Structure 1
Amino acid sequence: MRGEFQEESFDETLLSNLETKLAHHLSASAVSARNLQGERDKIKTLIADISHQTKTPIANVLLYAQLLVEQCPENCRPYTAALAGQARKLQSLIDALVKTSRLEAGVLVLRPRPGPLGPMLEEAAAQFAPRAAEKGLELVLEPTEADAVFDPKWTGEAVCNLIDNAVKYTPSGRVAVSARAYELFARVDVEDTGPGVPEEELEKLFQRFYRGGAADQAEGVGVGLYLVRQIAQGQGGYVKAFSRPGRGARFSLFLPRN
């Protein structure tokens, strides 16, 4: 069970044969584990390099694009605004890819612990209240006493992605955030009154880089929901989507309570 074994019988019996095979198997497993750890270390270094090397250039592009927007003639502003938008999109893409790559490579480890969901949901909703107000949306956080076993930081990241999508794709109406505890799981719901998602697209939403037909005109890179699924699965939970076209959508994040 510890992965350690030493042969004791050296003869032609079945026991000796079994011991030899077991020793060879464990030796090969140990080599594979060392190789895997080496590959993870390489990936960790590569991700750190990408994150570090791209941070400053993208920040500079965003800075100069903003300066162009403020100082260029009126007829040039649509082009400079487009430049700034694409730079922000690139920044979001790199940030999302770095996060998902770290999770997949085991570089970042989720540390679930028992706790109430309310404070984490309040913090996530507060981040998007100004954006919702700008669009004239009602962002509602329903009071809850639900608890679960979860990593507050990464679960908050997942909930923020769900609220971000709801605010982004809802032209009018409301976005509601709620949580309810069941016997084995707690369920966090983010529900909107947007255009909804066609049934044939529901199963594809959590794939990396997938964007539905309604997302073509909105900013995004198609990584947010994939990251939500990775975070949920990393804590023993899961995520589901429910929708009817024209009647909004509900995304439910299920977190274990034990």
Structure 2
Amino acid sequence: MEARRGKPMIGTGKVLRRLNEMLDSALDGSFEEYHYDETELSKIETKWNRFLSSSSLARKNIEKEKANLQSLVSDISHQTKTPVANMKLYAELLEEGIARENPDREQMLFMAGEMKKQAERLEFLIQALTKMSRLETNLVVVQPEKQPVEPLIFQAVAQIRPKAEACEIDVKIQGNQKITACYDKKWSIEALYNLLDNAVKYSPRGSQVNLRVQEYSMYCEICVEDRGIGMTEEEIPKVFQRFYRGKQVQQKQGVGIGLYLVREIVKKQKGYVKIKSQPGQGSRISLFLPKD
């Protein structure tokens, strides 16, 4: 067998043996690339190693997505069980009340009101779960654009203001709203509204919520600060978990998805979220959106 100029040739038998070894080791997961040189066999080994690595990564991603889907289905089943059971219970009680000759009007109105509340809770939960699943499965395409943060702040505050006024909570805006950042308007409004909603929900009646805008060299900070119940240092990393609710807020309305959605939305825009809080002294939660 004649060698190419400058490159040694390898015997056909040795090449076939090595290829056979490569296939066997790939099947049992023990493949390792030999010392690299300029031979054609070595180049094949390098490509084979890259192929196995990418295949392994793809398999791990599929397994992760499968686990996430199983977890999501389990969470949906658990979270919807209570409102559905309550609606069925009140429906049965209403049927019994109607069947009586002299039904208690006030009691029936109460049960009808409770059914409406549970239906509204179920509707909110389904909407939140839909948003969450779309984000997790990358069905949502976030399209950040460089633009002033003023429309983002204006619309999020306009959405929360009726709820804040009902609780006699004043929402104050501070800082330069003309600052520009790179963000997706629709989903960023969703994220900022969730922060404002939490601030209003967990603040005492008659208090104040501050929204501050601050510019840095690489990021624009939009901070929501309340004077509510606050949280412990141990709780802070947990509040970003799906369906997590602290002990102090168990009696409040909510399902524990808001901050999870905030983090996922901001993360998809190359930004991040930061929390400072102490029990009884309120919370300060900041969105950091990239400027470019």
TM-score range, shorter chain: 0.7 to 0.9
Partner letter of residue 250 of structure 1? Answer: R
Q: Percent identical across equivalent pairs?
A: 39
Look up the match of 1:117.
149
The gaps in structure 2 that reach 5 residues or longer are 1-7, 16-35, 77-83, 95-103
Take 2:246 and 2:117, find their aligned partners in 1: how far apart are those partners? 20
Determine whether 1:248 maps to 2:282. Answer: yes
Take 1:21 and 1:244, find their aligned partners in 2: how far apart are those partners? 56
Determine whether 1:235 maps to 2:235. Answer: no
Take 2:138 and 2:41, find their aligned partners in 1: how far apart are those partners? 37
Partner letter of residue 148 of structure 1? Answer: A
Take 1:130 and 1:83, find their aligned partners in 2: how far apart are those partners? 24
SS of alignment partner, residue 239 of structure 1 = strand
SS of alignment partner, residue 180 of structure 1 = strand
Take 2:144 and 2:151, find their aligned partners in 1: how far apart are those partners? 15
Shift in CA distance, 220/146, structure 1 to aligned 2, threshold 3 Å: same
Take 2:232 and 2:58, find their aligned partners in 1: how far apart are those partners? 44
Deviation at 1:220, TM superposition (A): 0.8
Take 2:242 and 2:168, find their aligned partners in 1: how far apart are those partners? 30
Deviation at 1:31, TM superposition (A): 10
SS of alignment partner, residue 234 of structure 2 = helix
Look up the match of 1:186.
220
Partner letter of residue 182 of structure 2? Answer: V
Contact 1:238 1:255 in 2 (8 A): yes
Deviation at 1:155, TM superposition (A): 1.0
SS of alignment partner, residue 80 of structure 1 = helix
Take 1:216 and 1:35, find their aligned partners in 2: how far apart are those partners? 36
Look up the match of 1:5.
none
SS of alignment partner, residue 172 of structure 2 = strand
Look up the match of 1:105.
137
Structure number with higher relative contact order (C-alpha < 8 Å, ≥ 6 residues apart): 1
Contact 1:186 1:257 in 2 (8 A): yes
Look up the match of 1:155.
188
Contact 1:144 1:178 in 2 (8 A): no
SS of alignment partner, residue 209 of structure 2 = strand
Runs of 4+ in 1 over 3 A off after TM superposition: 9-14, 22-37
Q: Deviations over 1:5-56 (max 9, x none)?
A: xxxx99559532233234435655479869979x98xx8xxx9xx9xxxxxx
Look up the match of 1:6.
none
Look up the match of 2:4.
none
CA RMSD in angstroms, aligned pairs only: 3.3
Deviation at 1:84, TM superposition (A): 1.8
Shift in CA distance, 25/171, structure 1 to aligned 2, threshold 3 Å: same
SS of alignment partner, residue 286 of structure 2 = strand
Contact 1:175 1:190 in 2 (8 A): yes
Contact 1:186 1:254 in 2 (8 A): yes
Shift in CA distance, 35/199, structure 1 to aligned 2, threshold 3 Å: closer
Look up the match of 1:53.
none
Look up the match of 1:4.
none
Partner letter of residue 201 of structure 1? Answer: E
Partner letter of residue 159 of structure 1? Answer: L
Take 2:251 and 2:211, find their aligned partners in 1: how far apart are those partners? 25
Contact 1:122 1:141 in 2 (8 A): no
Look up the match of 2:20.
none
Q: Which of 93, 100, 119 is residue 125 of structure 2 equivalent to? A: 93
Equivalent residue runs for 1:1-258 within 5 Å:
11=10, 12=15, 14=37, 15-25=39-49, 29=54, 73-142=105-174, 143-172=176-205, 173-258=207-292
| Bigger Rg, which one | 2
